[in-house]
Structure 1
């Protein structure tokens, strides 16, 4: 027995297409459906279904890309290292996922407000795309990953506008075909959906405005003249900044030691280098060099993970490429003392002396390597492309390019946050192993001066005990000065600067002897 299945109803008797009725015409009716009938849906159109399938596909691909970028913040995959912070491309991809999710969640509730909002977002993203491509420094820092993230965000924002417009057309077409007229009313649920979607998109507009303003500020900061040079290191993966002041001199055929500065928890140009410039100006020293660790000041971020020994290697490579030679008097502060001690142990033949200014002890690396601090740094880094503080500081507080690159506002920079996150992640693993090995091979006859913060020593007994322990990393301690009323950044007080000047003189005298 065979069963005959009648073909779908088709007014023209042709094959079914997007306009073919899905339901037979009820008897004794005018052929139209009730507006609230579930069959009245834009999903009847193949075009609408096509757009939804592709939006789901784009959202899935973007999410996978987002996961890869999240991982790259902590471990840089081959070929994906960004000389910028790594937070930039991640944040733009997060915005892209948000746009696509809004388009999917409110797919059947298209509205003019949503289209206008998405168009505004797309417009600002287009401006961002132009800036990142046109400004050489931002283009170099973000690389192909950052450029791709901005372009993809722009394309997806435009896609969402087109999708919403096509769904609105499809909804009107199906209503007119199946009910006899376009539906002008909305249910309470539809109005609520439109309201929620619009509020979310307005938030996206505000976010995009801040991101565009921050990128504009970055482009402005890129024009700040760089003292010294930027040098490619680690096989050309990134650049570090190195500068020297004064001319190399010799005494009895030997080069006079050059002071080599290593910053603590802030860029070296923020006050620390000013002290060295004053010491050079009053002829306490004849020459000094300073550099920015990866992520600080004018230096790029290094691939993750990045330890103190890797910073010391980058410094040695930069010095070699620029033809700078020792002997060196290493002057370092805080965390920078870890890097300086590693450099000293691996280049002992070029080191004439070491001065540690309120240095961080290896047993206290846990203070910068705690999980809580790492999570806060990561969270702060994620929102750093918004640049709310930077934008408001530039508009209402008169913050200058110098403030943002190496001054009081440098902590707002995504590169700076990434550098501190890198230090946090490996503090108690790679870096602690590096400095333990360095202490073992440190030559015991190297002249040593330690300058400690009186405030820190008195308020933190553990810190004070570890300062004393650091006076024993060599057997040639020239002086240990605990400067009363001096903070951790000892050079910010007159007595601190005087103690540091005296320490330098003793190291120079030890070399001359």
Structure 2
């Protein structure tokens, strides 16, 4: 044998010196690879092979050198996965920021919670892929397919249904499309790693490895568990998006008007001919209702209809505040003055000019007071139903309350309570849009989060300023909840202070057995209607 010839494992050749051999070389299998190695030197497929004559042909399956990372393709896939993770993390941060302060062009008219959860799904999928990159499994690939299919359904529904597309705009569409692509990428990456792992095992150990170590089984179990949770989240979101699409068939009773440079729409509804007590003429006074913690449609709308039928008032209007009822969500931050400006713009676009009698409840009274201070000559009277005082706004803006609202909003796209209400309690579209289940809507929750964020700062400043410029001769009627006064001494002092809002207090009535929603009792409804009738006729 010629000892000057370099040898590589699996490429051993023997040279015969006699003339009996038909070939000067007799080679073991893979001699052709040996010739290539001798000619070109080690390459990606041969560089890890030992070059000692006494070595064994294959490595141990547990040898660290047996790794899919040996292949450039696998390393490239991992690098690109890291790049996608960085992009997704930046998008996820942007979605969090938009919950508190809306960047220019990133306003979602529904709520940013859907886009945030879709971004979270994409980030979680990539995180699992990176953490367990070298341990591919069939369960991960199956779950990636399930998530990708469900996200594709979400994408189709959002793009196909005009109402949902109007709410999500490009932010929600981009988020769900990105989450879909990331699920597809996770499937492709895991499949690539599986191929690379098999290739390296066959080359370095002689056969694909079928067994797993305990650590690998733990990684497979962890990754599968996380992706099962991700798939369940996506499944719930698919059902919720479908329910939202179903609810878009419910048309609003009034019209929706673009406000704030056409960023979002405010729903405005007016009814009645202006006649009072069945007369042929009216004084053209319109009662402008402002809801409290809920939309006007939930409680006060029916009261207004009854008041018109009874002849107590001749005409009324109401507008849903941003995020409530049929109104779109507004960009953040949203203070009382911003909401009042949106109402004024919607009324102007609708051609409604007043004069007005403002009837408001709870926290809605703050918005009515700001509106009154800016339209003093058009306001004939103010009726406040158990109103919230500006000194109590820190309760609304308490950090603990804000965090609870944010947490509720973060899980609201799953629609757990909305879906259970629809399936088990017979909740209708009316219940979900403006009724008893409206508080479960991500848009409603986002509106409450906006309200909480600026309650003790921007909104309080707006209300305090409005009190300073409020016309002092404007008639005021105050109707308070007896139950609320009995259980909260600060509330009683606040009601007493509001009775001095102007120098023209007409009445201050305390309905002893009425809750905060005074109109829920017969005595409360009768008193509100009686005082409203008096204000309209002034």
Determine if the TM-score, normalized by the shorter chain, exceeds 0.5: yes
Residue 203 of structure 2 is matched in structure 1 by 177
How far the C-alpha of 1:20 sits from its partner, in A, is 3.3
Verify the 8 A CA contact 1:294 1:419 in the aligned structure 2: yes
Match of 1:353, SS state, is strand
Residue 454 of structure 2 is matched in structure 1 by 426
Match of 1:206, SS state, is helix
1:479 and 2:507 are equivalent in the alignment: yes
Q: How big is each residue's C-alpha offset from its partner over 1:416-459, in whole Å with a ceiling of 9 and x where there is no partner?
A: 11111111111111111111111011111111111100100111
In 2, Cα distance between equivalents of 1:16 and 1:279: 93
Question: What is the root-mean-square deviation in Å for CA atoms of aligned residues?
Answer: 1.8
Larger Cα Rg: Structure 1 or Structure 2? Answer: 2
In 1, Cα distance between equivalents of 2:314 and 2:211: 82
Alignment of 1:114-133 (within 5 A): 114-133=140-159
**From 435, 440, 459, the counterpart of 2:463:** 435
Q: How big is each residue's C-alpha offset from its partner over 1:340-393, in whole Å with a ceiling of 9 and x where there is no partner?
A: 000001001111111000000011111101111111111111111111111111
Residues 1:380 and 1:8: Cα distance change in structure 2 (over 3 Å)? farther
**From 429, 449, 452, the counterpart of 1:401:** 429
Residue 3 of structure 1 is matched in structure 2 by none
Residues 1:169 and 1:423: Cα distance change in structure 2 (over 3 Å)? same
How far the C-alpha of 1:30 sits from its partner, in A, is 4.2
Q: How big is each residue's C-alpha offset from its partner over 1:133-179, in whole Å with a ceiling of 9 and x where there is no partner?
A: 11111111111111000000000000000111111111011100111
How far the C-alpha of 1:197 sits from its partner, in A, is 1.1
Residue 503 of structure 1 is matched in structure 2 by 531
Residues 1:31 and 1:496: Cα distance change in structure 2 (over 3 Å)? same
Verify the 8 A CA contact 1:42 1:171 in the aligned structure 2: yes
**From 325, 344, 350, the counterpart of 2:372:** 344
Alignment of 1:487-498 (within 5 A): 487-498=515-526
In 1, Cα distance between equivalents of 2:495 and 2:97: 37
**From 190, 196, 218, the counterpart of 2:216:** 190
**From 96, 99, 122, the counterpart of 1:96:** 122
**From 309, 334, 349, the counterpart of 1:321:** 349
How far the C-alpha of 1:27 sits from its partner, in A, is 2.5
Residues 1:122 and 1:8: Cα distance change in structure 2 (over 3 Å)? farther
How far the C-alpha of 1:29 sits from its partner, in A, is 3.4
How far the C-alpha of 1:16 sits from its partner, in A, is 5.7
Q: How big is each residue's C-alpha offset from its partner over 1:310-356, in whole Å with a ceiling of 9 and x where there is no partner?
A: 11110000000010110011000011000000000100111111100
Residue 47 of structure 1 is matched in structure 2 by 73
In 2, Cα distance between equivalents of 1:7 and 1:429: 80
In 1, Cα distance between equivalents of 2:536 and 2:371: 19
**From 168, 171, 180, the counterpart of 1:154:** 180
**From 468, 475, 481, the counterpart of 2:496:** 468
Match of 1:359, SS state, is coil
1:141 and 2:141 are equivalent in the alignment: no
Verify the 8 A CA contact 1:8 1:21 in the aligned structure 2: no
Residue 69 of structure 1 is matched in structure 2 by 95
Residues 1:105 and 1:7: Cα distance change in structure 2 (over 3 Å)? farther
How far the C-alpha of 1:480 sits from its partner, in A, is 0.7
**From 452, 474, 488, the counterpart of 2:480:** 452
Residues 1:15 and 1:139: Cα distance change in structure 2 (over 3 Å)? farther
In 1, Cα distance between equivalents of 2:501 and 2:291: 20
Residue 336 of structure 2 is matched in structure 1 by 308
Match of 2:509, SS state, is strand
1:261 and 2:315 are equivalent in the alignment: no
Q: Which runs of 5 or more structure 2 residues have no equivalent in the other structure? A: 1-5, 10-32
Verify the 8 A CA contact 1:138 1:219 in the aligned structure 2: yes
- What is the TM-score when the length of structure 1 is the normalising length? 0.96
Residue 295 of structure 1 is matched in structure 2 by 323
Residue 138 of structure 2 is matched in structure 1 by 112
1:244 and 2:302 are equivalent in the alignment: no
Residue 377 of structure 1 is matched in structure 2 by 405
Match of 2:58, SS state, is coil
How far the C-alpha of 1:113 sits from its partner, in A, is 0.9
Verify the 8 A CA contact 1:8 1:22 in the aligned structure 2: no
